[in-house]
Structure 1
Amino acid sequence: MPVDLNGYWKMISSDNFEEYLKALDVNVAIRKIATLLKPDKDIVHEGDHIIIKTLSTFKNYNMDFHVGKEFEEDLSGVDDRKCMTTIAWEGDKLVCVQKGEIEGRGWTHWVDGDELHLCGPVMKAFASEKNLK
């Protein structure tokens, strides 16, 4: 059964984020700014409909989707690309697969106790973050 992701989550740590952004070919100026940020996540989870708002002092990003349904994701605020995205539950993990210019792109969210985890592999670069409710 899927876990309840509802809540406001504050980032407590991030690892290897700059290498991850470099693998996405994000320009150096945006990479430097992004690595200084500690964005919060505000998640509304109602059945198969999930809204993930990533909030920072630099830029906000909203992802509004239905689990299991492919949609076109506009990443212009991240790396100026569009991709076809499908997000599905794999056990108690929410797994995102993004198909586009960059192979192997996506992320996984899961909850462990009172922490929300995020892992994002791109090619051989892995980034991870922890968020506290």
Structure 2
Amino acid sequence: MSKPNYSGVFHMVEQDNMDAYLGALDINFALRKIVCLLKPTKDITHDPATGTMKIRTITTFKNFNMDFNIGEEFTEDLQAVDGRTCQTTVNWDGNNLVCVQRGEKEGRGWTHWLEGDKLHLEMRVQGVVAKQVFKKAD
């Protein structure tokens, strides 16, 4: 069964519990407040045939790029986020993309899924869950 193609540009339309999630990552108070005000755009290029994916998270403050092959572990440089690196693997769970980030923080990772023109993102670390919803650009 074929997997969905996540390619597209998505603009954030809602966010929940981001401050607590960033706090669990030990992000300082001032930076947490800035990040919580940002309205990121996700620019995703996905080739379902090869399993390669590029996720560009674009904000007015900082951009973050993540390039990977689904199912292959890689060293992820999260210096722009929280100054850490971790061993990351993204796999399919049904039609959802599930990321596990092994490193200093327990239970770190995220899940992406599509519902119509919405891209959902659930981020997890140490039992804290934050959610973002993005709407596909026309």
2: distance between equivalents of 1:68 and 1:103?
20
User: Is the contact between residue 107 and residue 127 of structure 2 (CA under 8 Å) also seen in structure 1?
Assistant: no
1: distance between equivalents of 2:134 and 2:99?
18
Match of 1:118 in 2: 121
Q: State how many pairs are aligned.
A: 133
Match of 2:62 in 1: 59
TM-score (normalised: structure 1): 0.98
Match of 1:96 in 2: 99
Structure 1 residue ranges without an equivalent (≥5): none
TM-score (normalised: structure 2): 0.94
Superposition RMSD in Å? 0.7
Q: CA deviation at 1:8?
A: 0.3
Structure 2 residue ranges without an equivalent (≥5): none
Match of 1:3 in 2: 4
2: distance between equivalents of 1:101 and 1:32?
23
Q: CA deviation at 1:27?
A: 1.5
1: distance between equivalents of 2:30 and 2:71?
35
Structure 1 stretches of at least 4 aligned residues deviating more than 4 Å after TM superposition: none
The reply to whether residue 68 of structure 1 matches residue 71 of structure 2 is: yes
Aligned-pair identity in percent equals: 52
Q: CA deviation at 1:124?
A: 2.3
1: distance between equivalents of 2:6 and 2:108?
22
